[in-house]
């Protein structure tokens, strides 16, 4: 109570931490180098802002955080998704729950979430300064304030680092927080992209650029360990470099040791049909149109732009008539419909990632307060910490929960 607190970064976690901290009677100064707050929030969920996931069980919440989920036990316990929803609705933002328990503002406008957070911190008396923090002021392993690029120094009783990771650097997430943490003696787990599109070896991906596949099953296989590491239904998108889309972004968070050719993507283009059902359908199609070329018959089974690529991969000449298709050819078509394979060569650059995996080592942070174990009165929250989750609102919930925990402990 009645402490002077500096918060670095006006993103989701920083805005939450600032408002909660000021609500406890502290004098809070929020530093943000951008002219506007919540720049990254504005583009989340394709501009709709997937605020949280309406997950009601703590263990389910933690299971959706593949990297250091247990570290968040206290943060999630103190501020659950239901608290996030109550918080925004109390600020006048009605919410709705969509498929997969994803929570969005009823307006489908991320700006409503940003405006609500901005109004919240202003109403609590948080002072905002638009300067770039260059370094922390540390004496005897105790943080004393910050020094800015301008040369100005600001002293405080505590500092909360909420600078984000390295994804979407144009929004201000340029990895500054890692430098502050290192200055205080912290270990930084090497940042890498997570929830990121994947580059593929197959040249035909560029031919399919812009093609969206819905309701397909995507399975990622580790060819070195001979095991499946991810499988789910969803939507994916072909791009000039490979693949993207919701199910691909989720899959990317399971890839830990990227190496060209180590991972394969197997796409079931017809997950609702068994091999036997597909065979019956093909036989029916062939019987109804015996003189029809295979490339035309496949138009009834697949998106038009995919057909030429698909037929070429079967090895069947596109002009082959239905009554010329052998049993072996038919099985080749079915096998490819059920297992359309791509070879992953790399992640897209970290700048294109939704979030950053890596950051401040969690063993060096007190999980009950978010305070540094190495430097007194220094706190961390949000993406700067080495925690990351699957898509569906879980990463923003991490930001709100850790921001709340840091703010409430000052």
- CA 249 to chain centroid, in Å, comes to 7
Q: Torsions phi, psi of 211, nearest 5?
A: -75, 125
Describe the crossing of helices 394-408 and 81-90 by its angle, rounded to 10 degrees.
80
Q: Torsions phi, psi of 152, nearest 5?
A: -70, 140
- With beta carbons less than 8 A apart as the criterion, state whether 356 and 193 touch: yes
- With beta carbons less than 8 A apart as the criterion, state whether 212 and 244 touch: no
What SS3 state is found at 148? strand
Which token pair is 273?
């049909």
Distance in angstroms (rounded) separating the CA atoms of residues 199 and 353: 13
Torsion of CA 295, 296, 300, 304, to 10 degrees: 70
Task: Classify residue 139 as left (phi > 0), alpha (psi -120 to 50) or beta.
Answer: beta
Locate tokens 């009783």: which residue? 157
In the DSSP assignment, the letter for residue 261 is T
What SS3 state is found at 130? coil
CA proximity to 128, closest of 3, 7, 1: 7
Per-residue pLDDT for the chain (410 aa), expressed as one digit of tens each? 689 999 999 999 999 999 999 999 999 999 999 888 988 888 888 789 999 999 999 999 999 998 899 999 999 999 999 999 999 999 999 999 998 899 999 999 999 999 999 999 999 999 999 999 999 999 999 999 999 999 999 999 999 999 987 655 554 456 799 999 999 999 999 988 888 999 999 999 999 999 999 999 999 999 999 999 999 999 999 999 999 998 999 899 888 789 999 999 999 999 999 999 999 999 999 999 999 999 999 999 999 999 999 999 999 999 999 999 999 999 999 999 999 999 999 999 887 887 888 999 999 999 999 999 999 999 999 999 999 888 889 999 999 999 999 999 99
Q: What is the pLDDT of residue 119?
A: 97
CA proximity to 37, closest of 104, 121, 106, 99: 121
Q: What is the pLDDT of residue 351?
A: 79
What SS3 state is found at 107? coil
Q: What is the pLDDT of residue 166?
A: 65
Q: How many helices (H) and strands (E) does the chain have?
A: 13, 19
Distance in angstroms (rounded) separating the CA atoms of residues 295 and 77: 56
């Amino acid at each position: 109570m009645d402490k002077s607190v500096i918060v670095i970064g006006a993103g989701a976690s920083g805005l939450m931490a600032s408002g909660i901290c000021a609500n406890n009677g502290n004098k809070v100064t929020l530093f943000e180098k951008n002219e506007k707050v919540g720049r990254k929030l504005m583009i989340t969920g394709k501009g709709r802002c997937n605020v949280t996931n309406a997950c009601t069980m703590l263990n389910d919440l933690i299971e959706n955080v593949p990297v250091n989920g247990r570290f968040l036990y206290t943060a999630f316990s103190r501020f659950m998704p239901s608290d996030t929803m109550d918080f925004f609705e109390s600020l006048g933002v009605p919410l709705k729950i969509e498929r997969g328990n994803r929570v969005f503002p009823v307006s489908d406008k991320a700006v409503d979430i940003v405006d609500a957070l901005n109004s919240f911190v202003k109403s609590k008396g948080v002072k905002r300064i638009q300067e770039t923090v260059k370094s922390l002021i540390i004496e005897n392993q105790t943080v004393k304030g910050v020094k800015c690029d301008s040369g100005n120094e600001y002293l405080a009783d505590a500092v909360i680092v909420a600078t984000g990771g390295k994804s979407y650097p144009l929004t201000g997430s340029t990895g500054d927080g890692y430098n502050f943490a290192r200055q205080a003696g912290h270990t930084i787990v090497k940042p890498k992209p997570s929830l990121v599109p994947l580059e593929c070896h197959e040249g035909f991906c560029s031919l399919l650029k812009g093609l969206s596949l819905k309701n397909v099953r995507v399975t990622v296989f580790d060819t070195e360990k001979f095991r499946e590491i991810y499988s789910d239904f969803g939507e994916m998108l072909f791009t000039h470099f490979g693949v993207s889309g919701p199910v691909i972004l989720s899959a990317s968070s399971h890839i830990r040791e990227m190496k060209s050719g180590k991972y394969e993507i197997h796409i079931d283009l017809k997950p609702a049909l068994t091999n036997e059902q597909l065979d019956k359908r093909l036989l029916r199609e062939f019987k109804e149109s015996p003189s029809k070329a295979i490339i035309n018959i496949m138009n009834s089974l697949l998106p038009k732009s995919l057909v030429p690529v698909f037929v070429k991969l079967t090895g069947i000449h596109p002009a082959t008539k239905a009554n010329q298709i052998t049993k072996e050819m038919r099985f080749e078509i079915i096998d490819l419909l059920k297992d359309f394979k791509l070879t992953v060569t790399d992640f897209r650059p970290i700048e294109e990632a939704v979030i950053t995996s890596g950051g401040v080592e969690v063993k060096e942070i007190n999980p009950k307060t978010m305070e540094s174990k190495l430097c007194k009165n220094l706190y961390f929250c949000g993406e700067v910490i080495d925690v990351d989750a699957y898509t569906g609102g879980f990463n923003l919930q991490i930001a709100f929960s850790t921001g709340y925990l840091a703010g409430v402990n000052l």
